[in-house]
Amino acid sequence: MNKMSQTRREFLLTGTAGLAAIAFFRDAEGEIIAATAADPYPELVEATISDLQAQMKSGKLTSRKLTEMYLERIKQIDTKTHSVLELNPDALAIADAMDKERKKGKMRSMLHGIPVLIKDNINTADKMHTTAGSLALLDAPTPKQDAAVAANLRKAGAVIMGKTNLSEWANFRANPRNGRGTSGWSGRGGQTNMPYFLDQNPSGSSSGSGVSVSANLCAVAIGTETNGSIISPAFTNGVVGLKPTVGLVPRSGIVPISHTQDTAGPMARTVTDAAILLGAIAGSDSRDPASADADKRRAKDYTKFLDPNGLKGARLGLLMVPPRQNPEPFKAYWQPFIDKLRAAGATLVDVTFPDYGPTQPDRLNILQYEFKTNIAKYLAERGGQYKTLADLIKFNEDHKDTELQIFGQEIFLDSQKKGDLTDKVYLDAIEKVHKSVREDGIDGLMAKNNLDAFVGPGVAGVGTAAVAGYPSIIVPLGLRDIPPSTNQAGAVVPATTQTTGMLFFGTAWSEPKLIKYAYAFEQLTKGRVTPQFLPTIPKKA
């Protein structure tokens, strides 16, 4: 069997032997919920990094045992979610090494011995593949060195347990065909499923990372974002997603799209765990010029900003974007959360951002120009058979039965038509777009209204922060029942249920403030809900 024909399920057959399950577990609010027979080690459900460290410190748990437990959860539960693309055959050996260090009194960080998953566009110089979900890279040479993020995780003592599925090429290949609006599909990994309702879109491109964290298949995971690819799947899958300032976390060794927008970031079930993970991966790296100031700008410990009273005195721009149709239920649902912000001591100022519709073509132009140049550089460093974007386009055409079965490659084709990064069209677009989202957008509105940051329901504002290269963090608020309505054409839209969350975002290097506000809001709401892997959304009366 050649590598091309290996399936993700064959990779997962390297998991550990079957282990006993416990009948009940507690969700994020402490309520007891019955576990199914296929829910091994339910004591890991909603377990935090601090919980796991306390167990290992007491000797009740080892990193090896913990890794075995998560591997067993992946083996059984991921048959539903398909979020884990490949397991690390060295995971248990790494865990053993961390246990030996612990016995000798060495504790590298709060991540010492903690199993994590990383997105499959992050290079690892080990026995795992790095493919961005594409079969084109399955036979590519192993990267010569770890991505800086992976190296930082290893340095912190984390156990890199495996790699997660993603929207292939980080959602930058094409729109779905036949009207199937989905994310989380790759030629290599197939379709990742949302853990609350398995037939729903898990969002992307960090679909596998968001789903694996939500499904409690790992303690925390790493996602990447160019334009919403951490925040949106975090929102959709009910977890915390933290998209850092571009340059705070080094991007070297990550399959690129845009050097002006790309970043890796934490995905976790709590703001605390996201803060711990950010502290481990942030920092400067000589291979990424954008990270030159990261060591000076970063906090040594982001957990020191976890203040339950952190909203007191904050002045936040409130970004409310209710739907055009049936806005009243939206407002009624969100008003209690807005009231909680005010009750916690925050001053909320209504803000309206510029209309970014006219700059959408420029935004896409920027990404397409940068992708064509950046992917060629990455492929050259990998040294594989495919060295340019044109080579990837041809590969997809030659393997259309597997690669083009759901998605085309229109974005690839349009990107291939672009020139280099000296083109006036590209340079003008950069200047125009950055002025609109920074000077006239985030920074301008902050100065005009004397704001500390912005806050808003759902993911409104996520694109603005991403294009600016500025940070954002989403806090989960559980599930919202949405009443029936009518669309613009007058057709009935049936009642449904969706995940919800509150987004905080701000200017460059404002992670400490955002973590403080997000943590305080999280403590007030405790909105995270444990998924039950329902086949579909229950019908509403």
Catalytic-role residue among 205, 232, 258, 415: 205
- The rounded distance, in Å, linking the Cα atoms of 207 and 234 is 8
- Amino acid identity of residue 131, one-letter, is T
- The rounded distance, in Å, linking the Cα atoms of 371 and 467 is 15
Structure tokens at 23: 């009948």
Catalytic-role residue among 63, 229, 232, 252: 229
Structure tokens at 497: 């249920």
- The rounded distance, in Å, linking the Cα atoms of 206 and 115 is 18
- The rounded distance, in Å, linking the Cα atoms of 47 and 45 is 5
- The rounded distance, in Å, linking the Cα atoms of 216 and 22 is 15
In contact, 259 and 290? CB cutoff 8 Å = yes
In contact, 33 and 7? CB cutoff 8 Å = no
Q: Is the dihedral of CA 142, 143, 147, 152 positive or negative?
A: positive
387 is catalytic: no
119 is catalytic: yes
How far apart, in Å, are the Cα atoms of 308 and each of 243, 271, 275, 304, 456? 21, 11, 14, 11, 19
- Amino acid identity of residue 9, one-letter, is R
Q: C-alpha angle with apex 230: 77 to 498, nearest 5 degrees? A: 65
Which residue reads 């970043």 in tokens? 263
Q: How many CB atoms lie within 10 A of CB 261?
A: 21
Catalytic-role residue among 119, 163, 243, 513: 119
3-class SS of residue 402: helix
- The rounded distance, in Å, linking the Cα atoms of 149 and 407 is 29
58 is catalytic: no
Q: Is the dihedral of CA 344, 349, 350, 353 positive or negative?
A: negative
**DSSP H or E stretch at residue 347:** strand 347-350
In contact, 157 and 49? CB cutoff 8 Å = no
Of 512, 530, 464, the C-alpha closest to 228 is 464
| Sheet of 263-268, strand order | 84-87, 159-164, 115-119, 220-225, 263-268, 240-243, 472-482, 496-505, 453-457, 315-318, 347-350
Active-site residue list = 119, 205, 229
